[in-house]
Amino acid sequence: MTIEHGVSLKKYNTFGIEATAKDYVAIRSHDDLMQLLQSGLLLKEPFLILGGGSNVVFTRDFDGVVVRMENAAVRFGRMGDDIVVAAEAGKVMDELVRECAAKGAYGLENLAAIPGTVGASAVQNVGAYGLEAKDVILCVQAYEIASGKSRTFMNEDCQFGYRQSIFKGELKDKYIIESVMYRLTPTFEPKLGYKALADALAGKDCPTAAEVIDVITQVRWSKLPRPEEKGSAGSFFKNPVVPINVYERIVKDYPGLVAFDAEAGKKKLSAGWMIEQCGWKGRNLGHAGVYEKQALVLVNADGEARGGDVVELAGAVVSDVYQRFGVLLVPEAIIV
Ligand code: EPU
């Protein structure tokens, strides 16, 4: 493990925002992680654990240590009829999805092309196209930063919710995830509950895993900017989950409101749709902008955006959506 100083984070965040880390450590192996924990570095200064950097916005230099998880080993095992895949935190999720399908371990397909890493999949409970990481996570193996002790969190210990887990909640900054185990199956069953997906696959009776992965990749890239084209953090806001009466109040005035069923008595509203109604789609403010093909995505419009530009734009969007719909949007992205 090597500690570097004054490292630029521009290439480590998908927004492509310039910021400098006072200290920087890349974790590539179990030994690196043990050395980091034994060094006590994380107890001495502020730290930030970074995966693919696809969900952070840096608003200033980081006066502490940035730990980038680059450990990426993957092991396959059996559990009864199921296949258990243990992947290290730094493994890129999209690569894992494809490797699993190629090896005949199914269940992750709908997360194809999702930005981010395995570690983030557990912290964020990432989700797309009708699948959330929690649906396939068996357990999470992590180390307590204060004691250096290993702990296995079973799925039910992780307090998973919509883009939420114990690692973002109660135990925020208390544990560092080394690996995640997913429980997959040897037989492929497509999950086509998501309309855009079902439409794209209409006409195919029994799509294969490879076909589902291809279609999801196409749908996703038709809505999200290619990182080499424009920086972004995927969806910037969460879709707000509101009580039915709030939904009913809004839909009375806006019959076109896009909403989905959520837990009992609640509806999940499409934040992208509301932002679009406010006229923000494709509009810029300073160096930041709202993506022209998907209004939930904020972008680094000209490659020169600083975190402050993104935060200012986000504030303007939140304010407009609140004024029009009376609903408060909350960022999914982490503002550092
Ligand atoms: N819509 C609009 N205008 C827009 C965007 C969306 O009208 O500008 C409406 C459309 O009717 C569309 C619907 O909203 O059919 C839903 O849009 P989309 O399928 O793009 O999904 P989303 O709710 O905007 C969520 C996740 C994405 C995930 C997609 C697909 C969140 C915060 N985002 O986006 O996840 O890929 O569903 O499942 O839940 C991410 O978290 O970074 C992410 C990309």
Cα–Cα distance, 4 to 19 (Å, whole number): 15
Counting atoms of ligand 1 from 1, which one is nearest the CA of 291?
Answer: 8
The two three-digit tokens of residue 291, written as one number:
């993506």
The verdict on whether 28 is a catalytic residue reads no
CB 227, CB 321: distance < 8 Å: no
Cα–Cα distance, 161 to 165 (Å, whole number): 6
* Residues in the chain where the model's pLDDT stays below 50: none
* Per-residue confidence (pLDDT) for residue 198, from 0 to 100: 87
Q: Give pLDDT tens digits for 5-29.
A: 999 999 999 999 999 999 999 999 9
**DSSP assignment of 151-219:** EEEEGGGS--BTTB-TTTTTTTTTEEEEEEEEEEBSS------SHHHHHHTTT-SS--HHHHHHHHHHH
Give me ligand 1 centre to Cα 296, in Å. 7
* Per-residue confidence (pLDDT) for residue 229, from 0 to 100: 87
The verdict on whether 332 is a catalytic residue reads yes
Ligand 1 environment, Cβ below 6 A: 128-129, 194, 196, 223, 234-235, 238-239, 258, 270, 272-273, 276, 281, 294-296, 332
Residue 303: CB atoms within 10 A of its CB come to 11
What does the buried/exposed string (b/e) look like for 128-158 if buried means 16 or more CB atoms within 10 Å of the residue's CB? bbebbbbbbbbbbbbbebeeeeeeebebeeb
Question: What are the backbone dihedrals phi and psi of residue 283, each rounded to the nearest 5 degrees, phi first?
Answer: -100, 145
The verdict on whether 163 is a catalytic residue reads yes
Beta carbons within 8 Å of 3's beta carbon, 6+ residues apart:
23, 24, 25, 41, 65
* Per-residue confidence (pLDDT) for residue 203, from 0 to 100: 81
* Per-residue confidence (pLDDT) for residue 312, from 0 to 100: 96
* Per-residue confidence (pLDDT) for residue 195, from 0 to 100: 84
* Per-residue confidence (pLDDT) for residue 200, from 0 to 100: 86
* Per-residue confidence (pLDDT) for residue 112, from 0 to 100: 96
* Per-residue confidence (pLDDT) for residue 202, from 0 to 100: 85
